[in-house]
Amino acid sequence: MGFFEFEKRWLRSIFDCVIPSGASRVLPEGAADVPLEGFIEDLLAHAPAQFCLGMRACTWAITLAPLLVLGRPKTFHGLSREDQYRVLDVMRSSDIYLVREMPLLFKTIGCLGYGGLPRIQARLDIEPRDATDPEWARRGAKS
């Protein structure tokens, strides 16, 4: 099940928020600094339709959450980083399990791609480490 291009941009924006650049000396690179577009394409091409449908629904939910959480007519992607974090923090503390788990879902999925890169594995001292980037990263390589 494919996503529309705008949904892929939304997904990428969520990954950029939950795996930020410059958050750590050990991991200065964030999702914005690595070729996650290829990971997203590969994931959508190989994941079961039910998973993709759930991820699509969660992507829409986070995208529209500022309307309810902040009371503002903006999408998640139109917010400042600080306001994006506020939205995710409110969602994380929700009494509704599904809402509470959405930020973790995106962090987990994003980290599957992010952590699949040998340079990230090296920064984390993961052994054994992959010798080459995954094929999806080579297709969408960022310097």
Please state the domain count of the chain.
1
Answer yes or no: is pLDDT of 14 > 70: yes
Is 142 inside a domain boundary? no
Is 141 inside a domain boundary? no
Is 63 inside a domain boundary? yes
pLDDT digits (tens, 9 = 90+) for 19-76: 999 999 999 999 999 999 999 999 999 999 999 999 999 999 999 999 999 999 999 9
Pair of tokens at residue 58? 């969660």
pLDDT at res. 7:
98
User: Is-contact 52 40, C-beta < 8 A?
Assistant: no
Give phi and psi for 73, each to the nearest 5. Answer: -80, 60
pLDDT digits (tens, 9 = 90+) for 120-134: 999 999 999 999 999
Answer yes or no: is pLDDT of 142 > 60: no
Pair of tokens at residue 56? 């699509």
> Which residues constitute the domain of residue 83?
5-20+29-136
pLDDT at res. 141:
59
Q: Residues near 69 by Cβ (< 8 Å), separated by ≥ 6?
A: 86, 87, 90, 91
pLDDT digits (tens, 9 = 90+) for 77-86: 999 999 999 9
- For residue 53, count other CB atoms closer than 10 A to its CB: 12
pLDDT band at 143 (very low <50, low <70, confident <90, very high): very low
Burial class (CB within 10 angstroms; exposed 0-12, middle 13-18, buried 19+) of 103: buried
Torsion from C-alpha of 51, 56, 40, 92, nearest 10 degrees: -90
Overall average pLDDT of the 84-102 stretch:
97
pLDDT at res. 2:
86
Per the rule left: phi > 0, alpha: psi between -120 and 50, beta: everything else, 79 is: beta
Query: Rg (Cα) of the chain, in Å, rounded?
Result: 15
Query: Which residue type sits at 140?
Result: G
Query: pTM of the prediction?
Result: 0.92
Specify the DSSP element, H or E, that contains 67. helix 49-69
Helix axes 5-18, 81-92, angle to 10 degrees: 80
Instruction: Round to whole Å and give the CA distance between 65 and 69.
Output: 6
